[in-house]
Each structure stands twice: as C-alpha cells, then as structure tokens.
A and B are shown apart, each in its own frame.
Chain A
C-alpha cells in the first residue's frame, strides 16, 4: 500500500491514505488522512473549537458554583456537537477533493468513507483476499478492477469447519456454482468462473526474475507467455555492488542434485512434546549442510545475508537450518513455502528434503505451493 502511495506521489495526484499514522511509512505520512485533517487550513477551524473546548473543560474545575457549572456543561455539549460536524465536513472535503483514496479492504468500511461513491475501485492482490472482504470496498464502486495472480496461494483459512459443509448446503450450492463455495474461493476465482477469461487481461512482463529463473514457471503455469523485463532478464548476483564474480555468484540457476542415496531424508520421531505437524515432518541434514555451505560461499563473495532467503517445505528442516544459520547470519530469511513473507530476494535457496527409495514426495506435489507468492506478474480481472 505504501509502495503505491510513494509511486503515485511522483505524479502529483491529490490523494489521501486512510489508516493509523503510526502504521504508515514516514515517507507517506503527509498523505495520511489523519495527519492532513490535523494540519491543513480547513483543519484550523476544527482546531479552534477543540481549543475552546479544552479551555471550558479547564474552567469547570475552577468553578465551585453548581449553576455556573451546568451552564458550562451545556456550552461544552454544543461545542462538541459543532466539533463533530466540522470535523466531518473537513474529512468529507478532503476525500472529495482527492483523486485517489487508498485504504485496506477493512479500512474502506470505516466511517470516514460513509456514503462515498467511487468511479473505480481497484483491489490489489485480490487473489489473496476473502470475497467478503472485497465486498466491503466494492459497495462503493461503479466499476471494479481486481488485480492479482490466481496461481498464488489462496487466502489462508485456519478453521477447518469453514472448508467442510453440510450436505444440505452442498445440495443448495450445486445448482448455482461448483461445490467449492468455501472461504477459499476468492471473488477472483468466482468472477472468472462466471464470466470466463474474456474479462481477464494478463500482464506478461515481469520485472523481478532473471530470464532463466522465470522460464519454468512461465512454461508450466503461464502458457510460456511471461517476458522478462529488459533490466532484469540477465541480472546476476556478481553484478551487485560489492559482490565478486565466483562460480557461485555468476550462475542464475543452480541445481544440486543429491540423487544416489547419500543425502537421505529423516522422519522426525513422534515426540509427544512436539506439535503434530513437527512429528510428521521430514528433515535432511546433508541438504541442510549444503545450504549452509552455499550461503557461506555467497556471503564470502560479498552478498549481504539480507539478500538471501532459504525456503523449505518442512518445519523440521526449517528448524535445523534455523539453528545452523540464524546465529551467524541474523539478516537471512528462513521460511516455509507457505510463509507469509513472499517478498522477492536476490538469491533464494530451496531445500526440497525428500529423498527415499520409496519415492514418496508428500505434499510438495502441489503446484501452487511451489509457485509461491508472485505479485510481479498478474492477471487482471475487470467487471463493470
């Protein structure tokens, strides 16, 4: 959100950002509705009333006479009323004079936007939002644009009962939609199912990945339609300031094939103290050692640990890696595939863990897991 404010600011578009100032980046504070209503000219009048109220309030404590107090209370009540009316007018003015109002889906339901109507409501990362959340914002829209990537993981639903439903509900839904009407079905999915791909526009140029990193996801998931932006398609680690060219830094795509049984996986023993997911988890110490070695190589070549992420699908592996790496490289990001922090990194190391002669792969098999979070390229869904 703050990224969008920063970029819009360069076009000198009048805009306000809703949300508590304490949670905003300093660089976007002067667009905060809260901050503007306290500092702008229009806010002067509101401030004057506030001051008068404070003075009255203070004078009450000096007055002993009950009748006088009652008079002051009466005045205070009127002032408070006027204060609310003016503040409201001030907020309405600011919102009406802004070309763009930025808010979270929840924030867009706040009292400040009560009765506001918008020509267009754009929902970013819509594939990650619950449909109900989207409607908070959409009620004020004449036209809606949803931006997002339907191949991203759907919003995380923790409550299982929301995924399973009664027979009756299933029968009821069967006639209208498919039987996947759970909270995981996003508005994005539903609009595509309802209207087909004619309402969709795919943005094909991505500005993140080296061409070689992009190629497989593009072939498999995006019909080979992705294009790597001119500035990113050949970027290497060795071109970063302060990074030397080594065997490890001049390659965009490296595969350590641990085939042959020397890197066996290990099942965590079912220790009762561990959570259930840990008990079923898998680890691979040799792979972990390989990760550590590669990280050491990259850092020795000059790469900052902050620029490296290590990802693995198994919690048991994550905990081994964390013990081995966190102490020495506090800045490094360690995460599971489903982790929330889907930000881009200069280098990502992926430890797949599974290695056994029964050829069991487990839950790695789900495509969307591996695709992970991807916001650089996106399908657009548009509906009027």
Chain B
C-alpha cells in the first residue's frame, strides 16, 4: 500500500473485501470515493492466461 510512487492500482471485490473488518471496509469506501473507479467488463478480458504467455 505504501510502496508505489506514482500509481497504485487496486483490483478487488469491494463487497467481499469490505466484510473483512473496519480497516478494509474503510479502505474500500475510501477507494470508491477517491480512486478512479472502474467496473471491468469480464467479456473484454482474455482469460486464457496460458495463451497470453506465448502470444505477443
């Protein structure tokens, strides 16, 4: 959390993570308010990670 200089990208499920205690709940709330919030579309992702490895 404190290692990045210019960019921190958090990828996570705000609902599940938010249930992990006050610290995580407030973190999720903070991110929703302050971060550039993005809702990724699963259909746009290449989930074949094995293929990603070879293709270039």
Contacts and interface: CB of A to CB of B under 8 A. Distances in A.
Contact of B5 (A289, A290, A344, A370): A344
Contacts of B15: 259, 359
Interface string B24-53: 101100111011111110100111011011
B8 A253 contact: yes
Given A254-B36, A359-B19, A370-B1, A210 B6 contact: yes
A255 B23 contact: no
Contacts of A255: 9-10, 12, 14, 31-32, 35-38
B23 A367 contact: yes
| Contact-residue size bin, chain B (C-beta under 8 Å from the other chain) | 35 or more
Contacts of B14: 255, 257, 259
A294 B6 contact: no
A290 B46 CA distance: 8
30 contacts: A213-B7, A214-B2, A215-B34, A216-B1, A216-B27, A219-B30, A220-B26, A220-B27, A237-B6, A251-B7, A251-B35, A252-B7, A253-B8, A253-B35, A254-B8, A255-B10, A257-B39, A258-B13, A260-B13, A286-B42, A292-B46, A292-B49, A324-B53, A343-B3, A344-B3, A348-B4, A361-B16, A361-B17, A365-B20, A372-B2
B9 A354 contact: no
A351 B23 contact: no
Interface string A211-234: 011111101100000000000100
A347 interface: yes
Contact of B8 (A213, A240, A292, A374): A213
Interface of A: 208-210, 212-217, 219-220, 232, 235-237, 239-240, 249, 251-260, 262-263, 285-294, 309, 311, 320, 323-324, 327-328, 342-356, 359-362, 364-365, 367, 370-374, 376
B45 A289 contact: yes
A356 B13 CA distance: 9
Contacts of A216: 1, 26-27, 30-31, 34
A208 B24 contact: no
Given A210-B5, A347-B6, A257 B32 contact: yes
Given A210-B5, A349-B9, 5 more contacts: A257-B13, A347-B7, A352-B17, A354-B20, A372-B2
A328 B52 CA distance: 9
Most chain A beta-carbon contacts within 10 A, residue among B12, B15, B17, B45? B12
Given A254-B36, A367-B23, A290 B11 contact: yes
Given A309-B3, A365-B23, A254 B10 contact: yes
Contacts of B3: 309, 311, 342-345, 348, 372-374
A356 B18 CA distance: 12
A210 B20 CA distance: 26
Contacts of B24: 361, 364-365
A355 B13 CA distance: 6
B49 A289 contact: yes
Contacts of B16: 259, 354-356, 359-361
Nearest to B46: A289
Most chain A beta-carbon contacts within 10 A, residue among B5, B20, B24, B40? B5
Contact of B11 (A209, A219, A256, A323): A256
